[in-house]
Amino acid sequence: MAILGNTTLDVFPLCFGGNVFGWTVDEPTAFEILDAYAAAGGNFIDTADMYNSWLPDHPIGESEIMIGNWMKARGNRDKIILATKISSLPSRKGLSADNIAAATQECLDRLQTDYIDVLYAHRDDLETPMLETMTAFNELVTSGKVRYLGASNFSAERLQESLDVCAEHGLAPYSVLQNNYNLMNRKEYESDVRAVVAKAGIAHAPYYGLASGFLTGKYRPGVDVDSQRARGAAKMLDERGLAVLAALDEISATHNVPVAAVALAWLYAQPTIGAPIASARTVEQLNELLPMATLQLSEAEIASLTAASEI
């Protein structure tokens, strides 16, 4: 466990991504996975109001509903660090003050809780003045409905603008970032966003920690995988991708842990990372991720993976 950036939240090294709940995972299986995650010491769960709005005939906020039902059934809300996101749900788009207030209350209702530990702006809103957005978020913090604020899919420039506005007006700033970052996708974050995050003491909880499943090692040349993400992962089987898999295989064998755990351990070892986000559709898949929480890679192993991913 470690404190998340400049917050007081003590989180497990692996944040469980609830995007699969309602999409590829039904509620009974979700309960099994969350039970196994909690039994392993896991306490950091991520979801969003728009999971899974792309599916017809599914309730709005289905992932939140399942997580809320699980916490109620287990009576463990006080043991969970709960993160959710607003602004991308088709019926609740944007970061206007009115929308933030309404969307957050709806999240609280679905999650069956009276507070959210980390509330993210799921996507930036260029149409709403930054001051209006951050003032509305600040009101949620002062009211006790939200403990900390997060930004997701933000550019370095917009993240810095938000921090400047909050400093000028005495508002609660973003304390957590959630952008796309992994061994196969490094340039966007490392080029400029990371510097802003590091200077502000923000923690990064990156999504796509396993590059849409590619870094589990199950996607190989000539291997067919039955997965919703197979097509995207297969595109990474180029020279660089194969080099990364080779490095992962070698380190995985050395430590006798799954490839996925090695990929997440590399991510966790990077500057500014608070807890990578990864999901699982079964308890068996979750068990391939959990060893990352205790896996200590050597400097040479980290350097090997870094070098392979730069080809």
- Reported as a single tens digit per residue, the pLDDT across 283-292 is 999 999 999 9
pLDDT at 271 over 90: yes
* Amino acid type, 82: L
* DSSP code of residue 19: G
- Angstrom distance (rounded) from CA 267 to CA 180: 12
> What is the bridge-based pairing of β-strands 10-11 and 2-3?
antiparallel
List the CATH number of the domain containing 84.
Answer: 3.20.20.100
Which pLDDT band, with edges at 50, 70 and 90, does 231 fall under? confident
Q: What is the pLDDT of residue 229?
A: 66
230 has pLDDT over 80: no
Per-residue pLDDT of 179-213, as tens digits, reads 999 999 999 999 999 999 999 999 999 999 999 99
CA distance 196 to 198: 6
Q: DSSP secondary-structure letter at 149?
A: E
Q: Does the pLDDT of residue 17 top 90, yes or no?
A: yes
At residue 284, φ and ψ (nearest 5 deg) are: -60, -40
Q: What is this structure's pTM? A: 0.96
- Amino acid identity of residue 35, one-letter, is D
pLDDT given for residue 241 in this prediction? 96
Evaluate whether 38 touches 71 at the Cβ level (below 8 Å): no
Which range of residues forms the domain containing residue 301? 2-308
Task: Output 227 or 294, whichever has higher pLDDT.
Answer: 294
- What is the chain's mean pLDDT, rounded? 96
Average pLDDT over residues 284-302: 98
Instruction: Mention every residue, 6+ apart, whose C-beta is less than 8 A from residue 278.
Output: 14, 15, 16, 17, 209, 210, 260, 264, 289
pLDDT at 223 over 90: no
Residue 278 has pLDDT above 80, yes or no: yes
pLDDT at 123: 98
pLDDT confidence tier of residue 235, bands split at 50, 70 and 90: confident
Answer yes or no: 51 catalytic: yes
Quick check: 228 pLDDT over 80?
Answer: no
* Domain total of the chain: 1
Residue-wise pLDDT for 117-171, tens only, equals: 999 999 999 999 999 999 999 999 999 999 999 999 999 999 999 999 999 999 9
